[in-house]
Amino acid sequence: MCAIFGIFDLQPGDDLAALRQLALELSQRQRHRGPDWSGVYVDAGVILVHERLAIVDPASGAQPLRSRDGHLALAVNGEIYNHREWRAKSDYDFTTGSDCEVINALYQQHGAEFLNKLNGIFAFALWDGDAQRYLIARDPIGVCPLYWGHDGQGRLCVASEMKALVGICADVTPFPPGHVYDSASGELQRYYQRPWRDYAATKGQSPGPGELRKAFEQAVHRQLMTDVPYGVLLSGGLDSSLVAACAARFARERIEDGDRSEAWWPRLHSFAIGLDGSPDLAAAKVVADALGTVHHGFVYTFWEGLDALPEVIRHIETYDVTTIRASTPMYLLARRIKAMGVKMVLSGEGSDEIFGGYLYFHKAPSAEAFHEETVRKIDALHSYDCLRANKSMMAWGVEARVPFLDLEFMEVAMGMDAAHKMVGKRRIEKAVLREAFDGALPESILWRQKEQFSDGVGYGWIDGLKAHAEQAISDREFAAAAARYPFNTPATKEAYLYRRIFEKHFPGEACAATVPGGKSIACSSPAALAWDPAFAAMADPSGRAVRDVHAHALEATA
C-alpha cells in the first residue's frame, strides 16, 4: 500500500511551481501510508505525487512509474497479484520489477478496456501525455481508499485519504469502487459487474468443499507476493485462523517466475491484541500453537485505547460507531507490528460478507434474501471493514491484504447458491466454509462462534466506551444533537462523541456525507432490519445484540 495524490485539468496560466509545492504539502498529510520514499511528476496538465511503502521490488519500483518513452506516468496504491501473467503476454518495455507497472503495459495495449484483467487491490491515476488523457480507477471492492473533488479553480484533485483534500475541495467524496473515470469521455463508468450479483444466476450452484478450499488456498498463496517481512493477523476467529492456516502451508517457500525456493522469512509470525482476558487472545494462542507460528499476543488497557481515539478517528476518517470500536485495537496492534519490522500482514476481512457470517443472518427469511444481503454487504465494505483494516494498519505503514476478497475466490464463493450458506437453530454461521476446511484447525476454533472484532478483544472495551461517553457528553448537549448534526444525527452519546471528534478534523457537510447513515444492528444493512421485528427495539450495533443467537448475548439492548 502507498498513497497517491493528483491534480488534473491544469490550465496554461497555472503556476506549476506553486501547485507542485501545494501538492507536496497536501500529500504529506498522508505520508504515513508511504514512509519509504516520495516521488513527484509534473506535466503541463497534471501533477502526480506518490508516497511509497515498498513491498514488491523495493529497490527499483519507485513511483510515479514512467514508460520508457516518457509518455505515461502512473501513481498507484495497491498490489496486482496476477501481474506475472500479464507481463509474460506483453511486449511492453518494462523499466522496473514492480507489480503495478503492468497497468501501464495493459493500458498501452488495450486503452481503458483493461481493468477487468487485473486481480488485485488498487487505486491509481494514470496520465497519458501524448493524448493529454488521464484515467482514475479503484479496485472492484474498494479495499484501497480513494477520494476526489474539485478545488476552488475547478481543477480535479484525487487522494488516497480525505485528509489530503480537506480545506481544498468543498465537494470531496469517495471515489466509487469498481469504477473508472476517463477524461477522454468525461464520464465515470462502472467496469466491474458480475453475474453473481443476481441471485437467479447462482441458484442451484454448489461448488464442492474441495473446490472452495482449493480456491481459497490459491487466493492466500497469490497474496503472499512480497519482498519484505510479513505476518498474519490472528484473532482466533474462524476467518483469520483459516488465513493463518493457509499461509503457514506456503510460508516456508516463495515462488518466483515459476521456480520454488526457500523463503526469505521462513518463520510465519502471527499477531493478536485484546484486553486482559479477552476471548480473542486465548483463542489466537490455541491456533498459533496448532499451526506453529511465532505468535505475539499483545494486551492493551482500556485507557490506552481511549487515549488513542482522537488519532484513530483522524486516521480512519469516519464516525461510524462499530468501525471506531474495532479500529482502535487494530490501530494499537499496527503500531506493535511496525515496531517489529513487519510491513505486510494477511487479514480475514470479507468472509462474513461473502458467507453471511454476521449473527443477524440467522434471521434471513429465504436464500434469496440472504444472497441479496451479502451483495449489499460487499458493496458497503469500502465504507466499513475495508476502510478499518486499511487505514488502521496504514496509520503505521503496515499493509493489510485480504485473501477472502481475492477476485478469483469471490467468483467461486459468491457463485454459490445461498441456500448452502443458510444458518438456523441447528446450523452455525459459515458452516459451508467450516466443512470445507475440516481438519485444518482445532475443532474448538473451526466451530467457534462469530465474534465481532470490537467484542472479541474484550467485552469490557465496548462497555467502557459507552460509560465514558455518558460522562463526556451531557444530557443537554445530547438533547441538541439534531440541531448540531441534522445529517446522520447521532442516536447515542457514544455516537455523538465520535462525531464531535470527527468534525474537528473533517469539518463541513461534504466530509460528513462520506460516512453512510442508517440504523444497523450487529453490522446489518438497514434493509435487513425487517427480518426480525425485535430489531426495532435495539440500539447497539454489537454482535451481542442479537439475542438467542450469540452465546454472550446482551441481556438488554435499550
Which residues belong to the active site?
2
Phi, psi of 386 (to 5 degrees): -65, -40
CA distance 354 to 343: 27
Phi, psi of 338 (to 5 degrees): -60, -40
Q: Which residues pair with 552 in a beta bridge?
A: none
Contacts of 299 (CB under 8 A, 6+ apart): 273, 274, 275, 276, 281
3-state helix, strand, coil in the chain (%, to 5): 45, 15, 40
CA distance to 29, 133, 158, 197, 380, per residue, from 515 (Å): 20, 31, 18, 24, 11
* Nearest partner of 358 among 381, 383, 340, judged by Cα: 381
CA distance to 5, 32, 283, 302, per residue, from 161 (Å): 9, 11, 34, 28
Residue with cell 488497557: 301
CA distance 491 to 501: 16
Q: What would you measure as the largest C-alpha separation in the chain, in angstroms?
A: 70
Helix (H, G, I), strand (E, B) or coil at 7: strand
Terminal CA-CA length for the chain: 41
Query: Which triple of cell numbers denotes residue 111?
Result: 486503452
Measured from the Cβ of residue 303, the count of other Cβ atoms closer than 10 Å reads 10
CA distance 391 to 241: 22
Length of the chain: 558
